[in-house]
Amino acid sequence: MGDETRMRSSRLAPLLLAFATPLFGVTPLQEKVRAWRVARENELIAEYRELLAIPNASVDRANIRRNADFIVAMMKRRGIEARLLTIPTPTANPVVFGEVKVPGATRTIMLYAHYDGMPVNPAQWAPGWEPFAPKFATASAERGGKIVDSWKPGDPIDPSWRITGRGAADDKAGVFTLLNAYAALVATGQAPTANLKFFIEGEEEFGSVNLREIIAAHREALRADLWIVLDGPCHPSGKKAVMFGARGDINVNLTVFGPKRPLHSGNYGNWAPNPSQLLVNLLASMKADDGRVLVPGFYDDVIPLTEAERRAVAAIPSVEAELKRELGFARPEVAGRTLFEGFALPSLNINGIQGANVGAQAANVIPTVARAVIDLRLVAGNDAQRQVAKVVAHIRARGWHVLDRDPTDEERAQHAKLIRVETKSAGTNAQRTPMDWPVAQAVVAAVQSTVDYPVVLLPTLGGTLPSRTIEELLDVKLLTVPVVNADNNQHAENENVKVQALWDGLETYTALMTMR
């Protein structure tokens, strides 16, 4: 089948799918929202692509501001009262804040998303996939998805396509969903049942480093009865989910020092110490091949799941066999433990490691430094600083001299094993909302109204949200209701969101905005 033929048939797909959707179980609200969306898919996507084209690395202040201004304009176009929440700290990224007052409403719901994104290395993206030039792709890059070059504005959009780009899923999809769900309600003449507030954060991927200060400065504006967080992926099966908590997180940067200048690996090999070898020996001492973290006391503070949480984990549809097949590996890190059971424990992950070069740039050298970044996820009971202290104690116990800066000549002369250990933020602790909280039941019911299968209930997301900080400072509970597909490559190259996930999200969030 030629490209042309394939393209033509995929252009027909959305129409066929619209007719194929079973009407059984679809609420009147869903029907209206769906019709509204079907009539303006092109327009919705065009605006979304404009948003995705603005680079959004948390540290890229100029573009961060362009994103914030763009979202303010999006809110205003929809009749949402919008402004930036700022603080005097010049490096703090603004929160985009929006508000809709509903006459007679007694409850206020805060809707959370973030517009900043993880750093990108464009060289690692698949050919044609670019971080900030959003396009359609026929599938994920790893499943052979191809960029749909032939699509032009006005053409139908296949709901099985992906939209590519940093932030497409994590978490500009939150901006798309929240603002368009509200627009759909207004356009179809339906009022929210609660006052709505929108909190679109600008440094979630940078450890929410200024969130405490921002909350302190805008406490009144941020009052709400419930925060709903739109972040993270749906269940890997594609099923909608409600998450009652999130793991905490802190990153630790390690730099091991070798010779002051890079050396020829022959003329100095087996004499000058190689920092890459010293670093791999250290990292190997932290985690066994069977997935057990070997840092003393690593699992000590963990508060076990409650009975209700354990039951919920047990009820999660099994995904492991299918995921192992899709992801192409034979054995999970810890044999016999499910994906979701693992979320109840802290983790230690090597985010990145580099010493000199590999591939085409590799050369026969002993480098001057070797670097790694490790990621410590935290659960209830853990404290970010305490967890880092355990890792540092482990490093020291293995004979390392630990610094928070580069070594002096004196230190180099004195210590055989020199390492710089740094954390870029204070870290985020874990948060959990009790599963039996009545408001949570209403949230689950709203999401449940949009689907025929049981909504998946997770005691905690595996990832991290600034939930604990918000809970603590504003004395409010949080729930997470995700929208995007699980195979979205968030944080990595070839990030993407499934078009259908965006459409489904509109139905989920209009239901939440009108929940009883």
Report 332-351 residues binding a copy of itself (CB under 8 A).
332-334, 337-339, 342, 345, 347, 349-351
Q: Pick from 108, 265, 306, 423: which binds a copy of itself (CB under 8 A)?
A: 265
CB of 147 to a copy of itself, least distance (A): 17
Considering beta carbons, is residue 62 or 362 the nearer one to a copy of itself? 362
Q: Which stretch binds a copy of itself (CB under 8 A): 146-154, 221-229, 261-269, 501-509?
A: 261-269
Q: Pick from 30, 140, 180, 195: which binds a copy of itself (CB under 8 A)?
A: 140
Q: Which stretch binds a copy of itself (CB under 8 A): 68-76, 243-251, 304-312, 444-452?
A: 243-251
Round to whole Å and give the CA distance between 387 and 253.
Answer: 14
Considering beta carbons, is residue 351 or 441 the nearer one to a copy of itself? 351
Considering beta carbons, is residue 188 or 354 the nearer one to a copy of itself? 354
CB of 42 to a copy of itself, least distance (A): 29
Q: Is 291 in the site for a copy of itself (CB under 8 A)?
A: yes
Quick one: 171 exposed, middle or buried, by C-beta within 10 A (0-12, 13-18, 19+)?
buried
Q: Pick from 104, 328, 336, 438: which binds a copy of itself (CB under 8 A)?
A: 328
Helix, strand, coil percent values for the chain (each to nearest 5): 35, 20, 45
Considering beta carbons, is residue 86 or 265 the nearer one to a copy of itself? 265
Query: How far is residue 236 from each of residues 56, 214, 278, 326, 340, measured CA to CA in Å?
Result: 26, 34, 38, 11, 11
CB of 49 to a copy of itself, least distance (A): 23
Q: Which stretch binds a copy of itself (CB under 8 A): 105-113, 176-184, 306-314, 456-464?
A: 456-464
Q: Is 327 in the site for a copy of itself (CB under 8 A)?
A: yes
Contact status, residue 90 vs residue 149, Cβ threshold 8 Å: no
Residue of 177, 191, 188, 240 whose CA lies nearest to 28: 188
User: At CB < 8 A and 24+ separation, what contacts does 410-413 make?
Assistant: 412/257, 412/260
Q: What is the DSSP letter of 92?
A: P
Q: Pick from 14, 55, 165, 258: which binds a copy of itself (CB under 8 A)?
A: 258
By CB under 8 A, the count of residues binding a copy of itself is 111
Buried b / exposed e along 291-301 (16+ C-beta atoms within 10 A): eebebeebeeb
Residues 31-50 that bind a copy of itself (CB under 8 A): none
Residue 175's identity, in one-letter code, is V
Residue of 469, 512, 18, 461 whose CA lies nearest to 232: 461
Q: Is 247 in the site for a copy of itself (CB under 8 A)?
A: yes
Give the x-and-dash track for 171-210 against a copy of itself (CB under 8 A).
----------------------------------------
Cis before 171? omega within 30: yes
Q: Is 395 in the site for a copy of itself (CB under 8 A)?
A: no
Q: Which stretch binds a copy of itself (CB under 8 A): 63-71, 150-158, 216-224, 355-363?
A: 355-363
Q: Is 361 in the site for a copy of itself (CB under 8 A)?
A: yes
CA 58 to chain centre: 13
Q: Is 62 in the site for a copy of itself (CB under 8 A)?
A: no
Q: Which stretch binds a copy of itself (CB under 8 A): 127-135, 151-159, 191-199, 369-377?
A: 369-377
Considering beta carbons, is residue 156 or 381 the nearer one to a copy of itself? 381
Q: Is 393 in the site for a copy of itself (CB under 8 A)?
A: no
Residue count (the chain): 516
Q: Pick from 193, 195, 210, 251: which binds a copy of itself (CB under 8 A)?
A: 251
Give the x-and-dash track for 481-500 against a copy of itself (CB under 8 A).
-----xx-xxxxxx------
Helix (H, G, I), strand (E, B) or coil at 80: coil
Quick one: 355 exposed, middle or buried, by C-beta within 10 A (0-12, 13-18, 19+)?
buried
Q: Is 397 in the site for a copy of itself (CB under 8 A)?
A: no
Contact status, residue 299 vs residue 346, Cβ threshold 8 Å: yes
Round to whole Å and give the CA distance between 201 and 68.
Answer: 9
Buried b / exposed e along 77-96 (16+ C-beta atoms within 10 A): ebebebbbbbbeeeebbbbb
CB of 182 to a copy of itself, least distance (A): 27
CB of 258 to a copy of itself, least distance (A): 7
Q: Is 352 in the site for a copy of itself (CB under 8 A)?
A: yes
Residue 416's identity, in one-letter code, is A
Largest Cα separation within the chain, whole Å, is 80
Cβ atoms < 10 Å from Cβ of 352: 13
Q: Is 416 in the site for a copy of itself (CB under 8 A)?
A: yes
Considering beta carbons, is residue 180 or 488 the nearer one to a copy of itself? 488
Element (H, E) at 11: helix 3-20
Considering beta carbons, is residue 5 or 270 the nearer one to a copy of itself? 270
